[in-house]
């Protein structure tokens, strides 16, 4: 009996050791907790590179099924791809009047979406449009250059100058929390949407972004949205961003202003005989 008890005890101890070793080499569920990003010269996590979101958030940040596009003549070329959504809980807490406005935006999206007019996309939409963007990192400033419409913004990491004017890309002030770049974005105007589905905000929008290294070629992006004129409470969206790994990867030009001149100003052209 004593030998049998000793065998059972030994087997239990061995099993415990094996489990401990397995847990020691297994990554955590988030992955970000075990990955240690390369460092820049000043010791911060190195986020330099060209990145891109691979999702359908630009069509609709909430979960959605595939559907036909707003222009029937385009057929499948204008169709909306299905998507799981990037909004946590898949709920956007609109105030009643704002919910009605969102519905109206969707009904008139073919002419009302600021993207159609080549307006700068704003934050956070610039991050998940179907175009890459580049992060250039220094100790005092971080530049994010977007392929879409040549948009760009500077994140001030030291002393940020005052910014009394609202703009499409807002005023960005950053700091580090461990390996996470946290960016506080204010002074955004009300001329941008979150997506093509009509989700919108007012000029009271306040966005807090978090960029966290997940692996050598991926970041976790989170954006907390606060706008008391439109939403009853803050809410958050999150998604992975992936490094572009092509040889000689670079941003190309997408200057869309010339593409919308006829749409916006064609009616002002002088007609023959007048």
The yes-or-no verdict on residue 2 having pLDDT over 60 is: no
Of 14 and 196, the structure prediction assigns the larger pLDDT to 196
> For the chain, what are the domain ranges?
49-65+81-246+253-265
Residue-level pLDDT at 109: 92
Q: How confident is the model at residue 156 (pLDDT cuts 50, 70, 90)?
A: very high
38-43 contacts, C-beta under 8 A, 24 or more apart: 38/216, 40/137, 40/139, 41/139, 42/139
Look up tokens 């200057």; give the residue: 255
pLDDT, the chain, mean: 89
Residue-level pLDDT at 71: 83
Residue-level pLDDT at 23: 41
77-85 contacts, C-beta under 8 A, 24 or more apart: 80/56, 80/196, 81/56, 82/56, 83/55, 83/56, 83/57, 83/59, 84/55, 85/57, 85/60, 85/61
List the single range of 44-48, 78-82, 211-215 with lowest mean pLDDT: 78-82
Average pLDDT over residues 178-195: 98
The yes-or-no verdict on residue 201 having pLDDT over 60 is: yes
pTM for the complete prediction?
Answer: 0.84
List the single range of 106-110, 209-213, 227-231 with lowest mean pLDDT: 106-110
The yes-or-no verdict on residue 73 having pLDDT over 90 is: no
Dist CA 229 CA 37 (whole Å): 39
Burial of 75 (0-12, 13-18, 19+ CB in 10 A): exposed
Residue-level pLDDT at 4: 46
Output the six-digit token pair for 95.
């105030």
Dist CA 158 CA 9 (whole Å): 59
List the single range of 9-18, 58-67, 86-95, 117-126 with lowest mean pLDDT: 9-18
For 170, left (φ over 0), alpha (ψ -120 to 50), or beta?
A: left
Residue-level pLDDT at 32: 43
Residue-level pLDDT at 266: 79
């Amino acid at each position: 009996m004593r030998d049998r008890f000793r065998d059972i005890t030994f087997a239990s101890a061995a099993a415990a050791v094996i489990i401990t070793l397995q847990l020691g080499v297994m990554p955590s569920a988030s992955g970000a907790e075990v990955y240690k990003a390369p460092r820049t010269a000043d010791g911060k996590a190195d986020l330099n590179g060209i990145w891109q979101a691979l999702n359908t958030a630009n069509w609709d940040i909430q979960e959605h099924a595939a559907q036909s596009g707003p222009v029937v003549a385009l057929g499948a070329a204008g169709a909306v791809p299905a998507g799981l959504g990037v909004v946590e809980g898949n709920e956007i807490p609109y105030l009643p009047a704002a919910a009605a406005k969102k519905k109206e935006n969707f009904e008139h999206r073919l002419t009302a979406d600021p993207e159609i007019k080549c307006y700068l996309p704003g934050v956070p939409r610039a991050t998940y449009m179907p175009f890459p963007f580049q992060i250039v990192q220094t100790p005092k400033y971080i530049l994010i250059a977007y392929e879409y419409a040549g948009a760009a913004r500077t994140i001030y990491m030291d002393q940020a100058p005052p910014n009394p004017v609202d703009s499409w890309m807002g005023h960005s002030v950053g700091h580090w929390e461990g390996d996470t770049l946290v960016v506080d974005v204010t002074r955004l105007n009300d001329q941008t949407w979150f997506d093509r589905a009509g989700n919108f905000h007012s000029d009271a929008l306040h966005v807090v972004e978090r960029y966290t290294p997940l692996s050598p070629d991926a970041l976790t992006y989170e954006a907390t949205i606060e706008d008391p004129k439109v939403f009853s409470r803050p809410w958050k969206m999150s998604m992975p961003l992936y490094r572009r790994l092509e040889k000689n990867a670079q941003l190309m030009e997408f200057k869309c202003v010339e593409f919308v001149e006829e749409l916006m100003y064609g009616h002002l052209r002088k007609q023959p005989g007048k």
